[in-house]
Every structure is written in structure tokens, then in C-alpha cells.
Amino acid sequence: MSQLPRPSARISALLASTVLVLANLGSSASAAPSSLQGAFTSAAAEFGVPANVLLAVSYTLTRWESSDASKATGAFGPLQLVDSTNASFAGAKGDESAHALQSTSAGPTVAAAANATGATASELKSNARQNIRGGAALLAQYARDTVGSAPSDPAKWYGAVAKYSGSADAPIALGFADTVFATIAAGASRTTSDGQTLFLASSAVAPDRATATALQLRAGRDSAADCPPGLDCRFVPAAYQQNSSDPGDYGNYDLATRPSDGLDIRFIVIHDSEVSYDRTIQIFQNSLNYVSPHYVVRSSDGQITQMVQTKNVAWHAGNWNFNMHAIGYEHEGVAVHGTIWYTDKMYQTSAALTRSLAARYHIPLDRAHIIGHDDVPGPNTFFVAGMHWDPGPFWNWARYMALLGSPIRPTAQGGNIVTIAPNFERNRPQVRDCQGDGSLQAPQPANFVYLRTAPSFAAPLFNDPGLNTGGTDCANDWGDKAVTGQDFYRVDRQGDWDAIWYAGSKVWFYDPKGSDVVGTAGTVITPKAGNASIAVYGRAYPESISTRTMAQYSIAAGQRYVSYEKVKGDYYDAPTFNDLAHYSVITTPTEFYLIRFNHRLAYVKASDVDVVQD
């Protein structure tokens, strides 16, 4: 595991003395700490938890962030207290089923924290100081459960920290505790998105692993993980079981024999999890959550946990057509704080896995096939607005593609196809956290260019009809952002502005001296002569299954979009639990082109378009 930079001895001593002073100032339960650091020291003193343990647990879980970016997964605040009643993974399977997250495994729940502190559930979810108190109170309870007291020696808290993971599986619980104690050894410091600077002085603590014995954790499985040599990779299975008497009610994936069953693997989908590595894995171990990836990647050191065999169909993309043909990775992190979580080690190990799988399954190494969750279209009209936007604006697509050996660079000059390619380090547009407190985020490297209705910074941002937000600077508003590696047909240029066809409209982005794009060779489609407009689809299905479109969109005569491949419509019919012998792939002669339509991919019927070389 890679270590964080260790402060010098002099700085470490100064930090340690400052922590002690803060602890003395904030020792009263009724004290009102003047900072988030003060909230940690006050809570630690109130409940008898070593301050470095409490800080390291929070850093491992959230990097000390207080935003509620993880509320969709039911985890709140700097200590990630769990309230599953607010969580939902509806539509992860993407076949129009209405399954949603029902419950989570035992662990640091809002209800337990309320009982331990007297704070209300609302306070524990929305107030950082109360959330930290709740986490400290539960850690203290877990220490009493494991060693019979709340000892002053941080080493004796290993078992309590393992229990805080919420998992009964040794690889998950002990892995979480190991990460926390590695953070204590390394130390940490950072400024949160709301401007609060926190620090954890490095401390040589040898954890007493025997304190986890009382937890009676389940041993890990022996199944070998499917990873290339040289990676730290393990197999922890996602849940696969029937949830009720209905054989159609089961989780969290479908059995298959890809690609020998006819389901070719065409895509690798990059996600971020919005919660910690260990909690991410826990979510997929509960069959009532109806969601799974094939792999999970840890931020700190790039460790990989495989959870579903690649031959099977995991439920991750929110679009069954893409799930059928994809392998999905969850990356530990929170999208709006991407540059904190997306580490170089994570990029390297994720890319190494992708190189291996792409070679095996003949997946093209381009941004039409190595995609984000935010590239996946809504299956039909109803789902468009609710599709996920991860890994978000701060995932370094340029670096990732370069690590794959497929850097984003010019392949043609003077043509009309352009690939979005801003300089990641220098490109730092204004972005707002609209799923948190609405605050502007500190400038950080980003992967996109804003799209406007005219060639002027005074012009409104583009209002994608699938979202109908009016165009905003929100991180989750994918409709007005064109992202690194995406290909478009350039229809005009005025001064330093380019215009492209996008979501059925002509939109503009600032491109001084052509610096934010590269010229690309490729193929484009346009509606056949005589068609005033044509339909756009979120999936390539046989007509016998569905012919529904994304009704918010159409392509008018004369517009052009980049096309990547022609495929026949198909559908994997796997309606019931554990019946692989009776599952089947339904196909049709109807052909579709995969195109870059807006921020997302889409399909058009081959019979509706002409193909143009450009």
C-alpha cells in the first residue's frame, strides 16, 4: 500500500502538540468547536476515542468531507453514518425493473448513533459536528464490544475499527482496519471543499490485530480473481440469491457464458462509487440492493476486488443493452471531489486491468468503448434524466487513455470531425456542487468544455432536452458538457469558437486557436434524404422486445454525428433466478449504428441514415 508523505519530525511534533491543545480546548461535550478539526478533537475527548483513530477512520471513509454526496447510497457525513431508508439504486439493472436499495449490513447506522448520542437522525445526517459525535460514540461502543473498554492505546482499537466497517467478512473488515492504521502511520492533511484545513500527525502505531478476534469474522473465499499478473487482486463475490418467492426477484447479477453465448463484450464502463472502498463492496454483497460491478478499485493503492465473473452480466450501467455487452468497474471515490480520490495508482492498476480485458475480448481502445457511466444513454424516454453522471468532470480521461496505449491525438487534419481534448491540468472551469450545498468547488483540473447556444461567454449554457435544467455549472449537469475523447461533427467556426451538432442542436464551445480539440478521421451518419428527422434510441433491441425511443431527442435532416460501428439488435432474456439452461439471446436482422449523440452515446437505425466518410 502506498504511503502518504510523512511530515518531518519537527512538523509532526508541532502538529501533535496542536492536536493536544485543541483536545483540551474542546473536551467539554457542550463546547462549540470553531472548526471541523475541533469537532473531531471534542468528539474524541467526549467518548474516549483516540483522536488519531477517529480522524483516520473519517479520512479513510470521506477524506474528511462533510457534503452529502453519498446520500444516494445511504451514507452521510464525515463518518458515513448509514440510513438505508434514503438510499436507492433504482434501475441499476436497466431493464425497467423497479428494484431499489432496501437495506444494508450491520454497521455504523444513524439509528444507533442517535441512541448513543441523543442527537436526532436529521442532525446526524446534516450536521458535521453531530455526525462526528455519532461516529465517535459508535467506535467507543465497538471498543467495549471487542476489548471491554475504551482504551487510551490506539493499537487496541483495531477490532473496533474493523467492526466500524460494517462487514462480517474478514477481507473487508480487516482490510478497512489496515487502511485506517496505515493512514495513522503515514499522517494526512488537506483542505476540504468548504475551506477547512485538517491534519493528522503521523504516529507509529502497531495495531493489535488480536482485538478483532471477538468479531468472529467469516474467512475469505478461495476463488481466484481474474486479473493480469502483478496486480493486487482478490475475489469477493457479489450476492446472487433469490429474494422472495417470486423467481424473478433476485440479485445482484445474471448468469451468462459471455461471449460464447453470443453476447460479445464491447464496452468497459468506468464508475465511481460515491462511498468508501469497503462500503462499496458491502453494498454489492447484499442481494436486496440489485446492483453489482465486475470489479472495484481502491483509491489509495489501486487494490482490485473482483465481485462478478466477466462471463456473467453485472447490473451497473442502468441500461440492460449496455450491461449485456459490458464489463463494469467501480472506483472508490466521490465524483465532485474527484481529484482527491482518483490517484495515480488507481489510474495505473485500472488501466492495466483494462488493457488485459480489452485484449482478451477485442474491445477497441477508444472513448466509444472505454466509457464512463455518464456515456451510457437512458434506455428510453423515462430514464434519460435520471442517468448517472460518474466518474464526473474530474476523471482524467487523457491520462487514462494514454495508460491504455491509446492517447488522444490527431489522426486527421482539415476535416470536420473533432475530438474534445482540453489540457487537463490547465483546464479549470467553474463547477458547482449542486447535489451538496450548492457551493462553487475550488478550481481543479477538469475533463470538459462548456457548451453554449451562441459563440459568446454571454450566451446561455446549452439546455439539453433530456435534462431540461436550463444549462448550469452544476457538476452533475452533464447536458452542457462535452468531455475529453468524445467525437463530434464540427459544423462552424467563428473566431475562437467551434460549433458542433449535439443532441439535435447546434452548440458552441470556446476553442482558442483550436487548442481544445484534435482532428479525427472517422465516419459520420446523417438522415436519409426525404426524412425531416429520425428517431434516437438508447438501446439496440429487437422489435419484438421494444421499439421505444428517447422521445426528447431527434436528428433533423442535414445534421451529422460520428458513428463507430454497426450492430444487430439483440436482447439477453434471463428473467428468473439461476436458470442458465433456459436463458437465451434473442436477435434480429435490424441493424443499428452506435453514435456519439450528446454527452452520451446513442443508437440510430441503419435503415434511417446514410453513412458519410469524412
Q: Are strands 505-510 and 313-314 parallel, antiparallel or unpaired?
A: unpaired
Please tell me the distance from the alpha carbon of residue 422 to that of residue 484, in angstroms, as a whole number: 7
Q: Where are the beta strands (DSSP E) in 538-583?
A: 554-556, 561-573
Please tell me the distance from the alpha carbon of residue 568 to that of residue 548, in angstroms, as a whole number: 16
Please tell me the distance from the alpha carbon of residue 149 to that of residue 158, in angstroms, as a whole number: 13
Q: Check residue 377 and report its DSSP letter.
A: P
Residue type, 573: D
Please tell me the distance from the alpha carbon of residue 243 to that of residue 373, in angstroms, as a whole number: 27
Q: Contact, 336 vs 320, CB < 8 A?
A: no
Q: In terms of Cα–Cα distance, which of 346, 53, 4, 296 is closest to 180? A: 53
- C-alpha cell belonging to residue 224: 481466484
Catalytic residue among 46, 123, 274, 330: 330
- C-alpha cell belonging to residue 62: 470521506
Residue type, 295: Y
DSSP calls for 418-466: EEE---TTT-----B-TTTT-PBPPP---SEEE-BSSSSTTSPBP--TT
Q: In terms of Cα–Cα distance, which of 456, 455, 510, 458 is closest to 481? A: 510
Active site residue 330: yes
Q: Please count the other Cβ atoms lying within 10 Å of the Cβ belonging to residue 381.
A: 15
Please tell me the distance from the alpha carbon of residue 572 to that of residue 261, in angstroms, as a whole number: 10
Q: Catalytic amino acids?
A: 330
